[in-house]
Structure 1
Amino acid sequence: MKYIISMISALLLLIGFSTKAQETENAPVHTSAWEFTAEKKAPGEYILKFKALIEPGWKLMAASMGDDEPNSRIVFDSLSDTRVKIQALADASAPLKAKEPMLDNMEIKYFENAAEITATVKYNTDSVKDLRGTVNYFILKGEEILPEEVPFTFTADASGNLAGGAGGLKVNEEAAAGLKRPTIDLANPIMKVGGIGNEGESSVWLIFVLGFLGGLVALVTPCVFPMIPLTVSFFTKSAQDRKSGIFNATMYGFFIFLIYVLFSLPFHIAGKADSAIFNNISTNVWLNLAFFVVFVVFALSFFGLFEITLPSGLASKADSKANKNSLVGIFFMALTLVVVSFSCTGPIMGSLLAGAGSAAGGANGAWMLTAGMAGFGIALALPFALFALFPNWLNSLPKSGGWLTSVKVVLGFVEVALAIKFLSNADLVTHWGILHRETFFLIWIIIFGLTTAYLFGLIKFPHDSPVKKLGKVRIFFGILFGAFTLYLIPGITNTKYARIRLMSGFAPPMSYSWYGHSTATEKGAVEPDIINEYEKGLALAKEKNKPVLLDFTGWACVNCRNMEENVWTDPEVHSLIKDNYILISLYTDDRKKLGENDQFLFKSDEGWSKKIVTIGDKYATFQRVNFINQSQPLYVLITPDERLLTLPVAYTPDIQEYSNWLKAGLEGWKKVSNTAQK
């Protein structure tokens, strides 16, 4: 069991680190105080002094340690780095020296109780300006060695003197008050309509079904398919009687299911520690880029360039315990199958992980992942139990052969397509502009066009067996992929057919286009009327005397795109929004930075804190503190003076239900307006 949990610990660390970096103020853990001062040495040249008090028992590594060793360094931010050059970095006093057993008896230089580092810097510019950065250092105690950092700021005055102080973001009460709106009262809407109840249930079942389908696909891969007759035969022949053979095979299938479900356990733990972890998976730039690289690597493996396997020692260890004739032995037989088939099942499980993150935010994402893994495990385990119950069915199974290799190649093309989706997520939240909607469709057309050509034998890979005759199954899937390729072609056009329903939420939005606001967009949706700044939209609502539809959305939010392209385009819904509401769409994953003076550290009444650095940070926190919710989409109807008209709703694909909710908001607005007139 511990092997299953440890296999995804590295990904959890990456997710946890990126989330923690956004949620908490960076502060030294084992130093009780830092002091920053500056001494003018010559015009444009200064000695910056960094003094630290160190907690008892801890050692702070000296600046004189090498670059490839644990050390202390001064790192300026990108703007300050262009202003000054570090001429010398030194320890203000001689450090202590000792052999460190934990570092292979390396001689380390360190400080205890107190330390001072000096940096001599010279300005590259004519004028002396502010400097910002961090002290990056390692601390050591016993068998613990930790990297830490502390921010600093040196402020320049009119005379060219520098005054140092603690850096990082500061608590700004005025800015914090702008996020928490006191008139928004979730307990007392004008109309008791709406509410966030079981909106995620259908998505959980969808993830379960997708997981089940993924498990069925995994069954016909070269890593799993040949194991079915071998394993079932082993249980039925080695058992003392048919009843015990069926029991053993059934337990084998159950343990396969259990092991895959256990994959989701660490995410439940991490979700309790940080409810935004799954939202972070779907919107974090670096995680999406990491998924892009991983899926490309998996695709290359499926194409036969190399084989991806888990460490052989893990498989050997599991296999050695599988010889025991007991439930423990059967469990380890199941674990052995999971380990040795990883090169085929890993990419499919990775898709489930990413799909759970994209489909829901907050703690619900862990349950979605569990649902996906449960579906995957059931599909993979079911044949072992069924064939044990009905061993004659084994005779109907097709023989292993070259068709299994073809399955892997087709999966490789699918993995490339999924990799493009993750690259698109990163592009959307950063606005790089490299994967507009039409570019995305063009790449997918090429990918699935090549898949079609491969299935019809027009192209092949070096390890493929010669295709002497196209089978019916191969022809069927060739036609299927070919039809899908043709279906995608209108996506690159500037016509009314460019809005491809099946790709809603998967491809970039219509507004992220080669053509700008295309003809199809202007005729069908409300994008041109959207305002992306809350205060600006609120001011317009007061000017027009209209209620507000708040749309908490995200560039990488699949369900948001589904709502915009399939619900908002309905004529009645479109008219209700366009004619009666001021639409304010707030992107909670927008990575564009706020102005330097607009960045601050938000501290909530509940004790948590968050750095407000980007537009997404601002509106995600706005959503969290006012509506106690972090998932997207979230729709809220308010008056221009910020009174709640109805209860908020989340993903609502039922057009009539969403339309009725909008109408209820208008009824509430009439009540408010009539009361005001009296």
Structure 2
Amino acid sequence: MRLLISILFLLIGNIFSTYGQLDENPATWSHEVNKVSDLEYELIFKGKIAEGWHVYSQYTAEGGSLPSEFTFEKAGEDYVLIGKTTESETIKEYSDIFEVEETFFKKEAIFTQKIKLLNPDVNQITVNLFYQICQEVCIPMDEFFQISLDGSAFVATEKEIDENSLALGSSLKLDLKNTELLAQNELGNSSKSSNLWMIFGLGFLGGLIALLTPCVFPMIPLTVSFFTKKSKKRAKGIMDAVLYGFFIVLIYFLLSLPFHLFDSVDSQILNTIATNIWLNVFFFVIFVFFAFSFFGYYELTLPSSWANKMDEASFKVGGGLGIFFMALTLAIVSFSCTGPILGGLLGSTTLAEGNVAINLSAGMVGFGLALALPFTLFALFPAWLNSLPKSGGWMTTVKVVLGFLELALAFKFLSNADLVGNWGLLKREIFLGIWILLFVLLALYLFGVFRFPHDDPKQKLSPTRKIVGLVSLAFSVYLILGLSGKVNLRLLSGFPPPDFYTVQQTDSDCPLGLDCFKDFDEGVAYAKAENKPILLDFTGWACVNCRKMEENVWSQASIYQMLKEEYVLISLYVDDRKELPVDQQFDFKYDSGRVKTIETIGQKWGTFQTINFNAASQPYYVLLSPNLEVLSEAVQYVDAEVYEEWLKSGLNNYELSMNQ
């Protein structure tokens, strides 16, 4: 169960390949100095942490989230540290993600360090604190403490940044005009409730599929008959069945409940999973493992003692609590079928935005509701039981079909790793070729050309099996036509690699063959020369919403024409892991004094987006004039109609600014 919860918690991060506007630092710091003797002082650092946020201890377990770390400048030269830095009361909780016990602060963090001066004339010292402040995202922060030991005014000394870093850092900051428009960013933020319903619907669909598996389907008539026959009154039997269904929904909801409470778990993984190479490789392996369990080579099961204990408890306790234990028994014994479905389903819902726990709860409730409905409906209308198909080999077929779907999803994770890592292994043609092979094999299996270990050798091909086989074959043809360029694979937008990530030599490495710039300064220079407005596109290699916008919205004829003829497109990939040339790597110093080392292309453009637009979402679109006037509010994930009107308004505003 812990493995399942860990996987679900990580997978739901694929939903959040984007996250929104950055707020002010939710931690405020102060310091105090207590003089112990002529040469000894006690330094106290206090942090007030906003509600719902947390900061990790210096001594949190290795292998987990990043610990807080103090750097005492000139320690060993002007003074020495006496003992370790002590801390105020902390909280300890086990992280299913890292499988270690993590230590963190909530509401307040207090650090105390004693020092002894080696030079009696020293009266000022500088201390740097690196820490993570976490809630829905984890933000790495640096806090500089400039401390006067004698109470005099501190004469600030800047942390040394070389001239190259100062120049490159300064070039990232734009002199934007009309920035008040950016604060009106309302477009693209109205879809959260619809996304929640989408996740609920996908969860419900997953539950319906789970009903057709051999772990769940045979339980329906047995359970309904148990409730209707054990009660002397039919009304009592119906109420018990309804309560049983309610408890099924409740149990799956309870699986998401810890995520409303565990603010301590490092949520940074949830937001970066779509761009983390090795996590995507890990999920590729996990889903391949899931697939082969559905193929019948082994079975995923929770300890049988769990189910036995729950079953015993249901009879001993009786009443409503006994029915709860019966529902819990179903959840445990059906894990071998429901676990991979839940993981695959929630892992593929990459379109939603919002709160992690709320989205997870919506998916779980939808899944539980689909599982519970048959038990309630058949109790209300027992005659319907006669219409249920008999259990048999068809349920094994359902599992195999799910296994092929798990394999297809597995290659999506591997594709994410390949795109972000720039490995060049799964180009668009290769990815589609693998999917074509998988769905052709699925069709051949359904047509009885080959079998898996748990298949009945005498199994007949039912009409339904033939129809699904034809659908799989038709889908393969659809992929082949898409691979050859004869049809637009719009239905799959966001899943295959972008069309410009190809083994063929192309004139453009930009979406849809458009001309684009991947360097901001080059794009602005071209816009000035051509006297055209700029579409600034903050995107990502592993950003599904970005691909969907490009393939479903940008591909619209009127929008495509504007992008091609009216705008200069600048696409900046914030998850690009390519290292910058050594002479272009630098240290960037924020206004707060925090220093960030910029080593990759993605780090450069991610920092560029944050400091100029106070945002960290992808896709994120800004319209600018060549003179860096903001022409309209920024937008994110919107439909084609809204996007077209937004582009037109930018052109109109640009014309007005030119005429002034």
- Return the TM-score normalized by structure 1: 0.71
Matches within 5 A, 1:315-334: 315-323=307-315, 324-334=317-327
1:485 aligns with 2:476: yes
Residue matched to 2:387 = 396
Task: Give the residue type in structure 2 aligned to 1:585.
Answer: S
Equivalent residue of 1:585, what SS? Answer: strand
| 1:387 aligns to 2:378 (yes or no) | yes
- For residues 215 and 536 of structure 1, do their structure 2 counterparts lie closer, same or farther at Cα, with a shift above 3 Å needed? same
Counterparts of 1:14 and 1:602, CA distance in 2: 34
**Gap runs ≥5 in structure 2:** 18-52, 59-64, 88-113, 116-158
Aligned counterpart, 1:447: 438
Give the aligned partner of residue 541 of structure 2.
Answer: 555
State the SS of the aligned residue for 1:550.
strand
Specify which of 333, 340, 346 is matched with residue 340 of structure 1: 333
1:509 aligns with 2:498: yes
Residue 412 (structure 1) aligns with: 403
In 1, Cα distance between the equivalents of 2:433 and 2:321? 51
Would the alpha carbon gap of residues 591 and 370 (structure 1) be closer, same or farther in structure 2, given more than 3 Å must change?
A: farther
Q: Does 1:542 align with 2:544?
A: no
Query: In the TM superposition, what whole-angstrom CA distance separates every residue of 1:168-219 from its partner, at most 9, and x where no partner exists?
Result: 99997766555554526653369x7962331344433333222221111111
Residue 614 to residue 193, structure 1, CA distance change in 2 (3 Å): closer
3-state SS of the aligned residue for 1:322?
Answer: helix
SS in 2 for 1:479: helix
Alignment of 1:580-595 (within 5 A): 580-595=566-581
CA distance in 2, matches of 1:555, 1:513: 14
Among 611, 617, 624, the alignment partner of 1:638 is 624
Quote the residue 2:428 is aligned against: 437
Give CA-to-partner distance per residue, 1:253-292, whole Å, 9 cap, x none.
1222222233334445567977755431222212211111
Relative contact order (C-alpha < 8 Å, sep 6+): which is higher? 2
Name the CA distance, whole Å, in 1 between partners of 2:167 and 2:516.
27
Q: How does 1:260-659 map to 2 (within 5 A)?
A: 260-268=252-260, 277-323=269-315, 324-356=317-349, 358-360=350-352, 363-493=354-484, 496-497=485-486, 499-517=488-506, 526-596=512-582, 598-600=585-587, 603=590, 612-654=598-640, 656-659=641-644
Q: Distance in 1 between matches of 2:406 and 2:162?
A: 41
Instruction: Pick which of 177-186 and 394-403 moved more.
Output: 177-186
Distance in 1, matches of 2:615 and 2:57, equals 19
1:603, distance to aligned residue in structure 2 (A): 4.9
> Shift of the alpha carbon at 1:466?
2.3
What is residue 649 of structure 2 aligned with on the other side? 664
**Partner deviation per Cα, 1:536-587 (whole Å, 9 max, x = no partner):** 2223223322211111222122222122122212221111111111111111
CA positional deviation for 1:339: 1.8
Query: Quick check: 1:281–1:288 contact (8 Å CA) kept in 2?
Result: yes
Counterparts of 2:659 and 2:314, CA distance in 1: 76
Q: SS of 2:326's equivalent?
A: helix
The offset of 1:467, in angstroms, is: 4.0
Q: Is the 8 A contact 1:189 1:645 kept in 2?
A: no
Cα shift at 1:509? 0.7
| Counterpart among 2, 5, 8 of residue 5 in structure 2 | 8
Shift of 1:332: 2.6
Letter in 1 for 2:319: S
Residue 27 and residue 565 in structure 1: after superposition, are their counterparts in 2 closer, same or farther (change >3 A)?
closer
After TM superposition, the score normalised by the length of structure 2 is 0.73
Distance in 2 (alpha carbons) for counterparts of 1:15 and 1:502: 22
Q: Say if 1:517 and 1:528, in contact at 8 Å, map to a contact too.
A: no
Q: Deviations over 1:344-398 (max 9, x none)?
A: 1111111233223x2245x445443333222222211111111111122112111
Q: Give the direction of change, closer, same or farther, for the CA distance of 1:33–1:518 in structure 2 (3 Å limit).
A: closer
Aligned to 1:239: 231
Q: Is the 8 A contact 1:223 1:341 kept in 2?
A: yes
Cα distance 1:536–1:268, how it changes in 2: closer, same or farther (>3 A)?
A: farther
1:412–1:170 CA distance, 2 compared to 1 (3 A): farther
Work out whether residues 499 and 512 of structure 2, in 8 Å CA contact, stay in contact via their aligned partners in 1.
no
Does the C-alpha gap of structure 1 residues 636 and 24 become closer, same or farther in structure 2, counting only changes over 3 Å? farther
State how far apart, in whole Å, the 2-side matches of 1:311 and 1:331 are: 19
Shift in Å, 1:445: 0.9
Cα distance between partner residues in 1 of 2:589 and 2:341: 39
Shift of 1:421: 1.0
**CA distance 1:404–1:443, change in 2 (3 Å):** same
After superposition, the Cα gap between the structure-2 partners of 1:235 and 1:276, relative to the gap in structure 1 and judged at 3 Å, is same
* % identical equivalent positions: 50
Q: Distance in 1 between matches of 2:595 and 2:312?
A: 49
Out of 253-262 and 410-419, give the one that drifted further: 253-262
**Alignment correspondent of 1:220:** 212
Which runs of no fewer than 5 residues in structure 1 stay unpaired?
38-50, 59-112, 115-165
CA distance in 2, matches of 1:475, 1:232: 31
State the distance in 1 between where 2:178 and 2:264 align: 26
RMSD between superposed Cα atoms in Å: 4.0
Structure 1 residue identity aligned to 2:290: F
Tell whether the 8 Å contact from 1:552 to 1:632 is kept in structure 2 after alignment.
Answer: yes
Deviations 1:283-332 (A, max 9, x none): 22122111111100011111111111123344344434333223333223
Q: What CA distance in whole angstroms lies between the structure 1 residues aligned with 2:311 and 2:275?
A: 39
Q: 1:399 to 1:604 in 2, by over 3 A?
A: farther
Helix, strand or coil at the partner of 2:577: coil
Within the alignment, does 1:55 sit opposite 2:84 as a pair?
A: yes
Paired residue secondary structure (2:480): helix
> More deviation in 197-206 or 251-260?
197-206
The offset of 1:52, in angstroms, is 8.6
Q: Secondary structure at the match of 1:55?
A: strand
Q: CA deviation at 1:479?
A: 1.1
Any idea what SS the aligned residue of 2:180 has? coil
1:102-158 deviations in Å (ceiling 9; x for gaps): xxxxxxxxxxx99xxxxxxxxxxxxxxxxxxxxxxxxxxxxxxxxxxxxxxxxxxxx
> Aligned partner of 1:504: which letter?
S
Distance in 1 between residues matched to 2:162 and 2:300, nearest whole Å = 44
- Code of the residue aligned with 2:345 in structure 1: it is L
Encode CA deviations 1:512-539: one digit per residue, 9 max, x unaligned: 01113289x99xx654411112232223
Mark the CA change 1:261 to 1:532 in structure 2 (over 3 Å): closer, same or farther.
Answer: farther
Indicate conservation of the 8 Å contact 1:552/1:586, yes or no: yes
Query: Counterpart amino acid of 2:302?
Result: L
Distance 1:550 1:279 in 2: 22
User: Following TM superposition, by how much is the alpha carbon of 1:433 offset from its aligned partner in structure 2, in angstroms?
Assistant: 0.7
8 Å CA contact retained: 1:427, 1:434:
yes
What is the Cα deviation at residue 428 of structure 1? 0.8
Change over 3 Å in CA distance of 1:175–1:372 after alignment to 2: farther
What count of residue pairs does the alignment treat as equivalent? 543
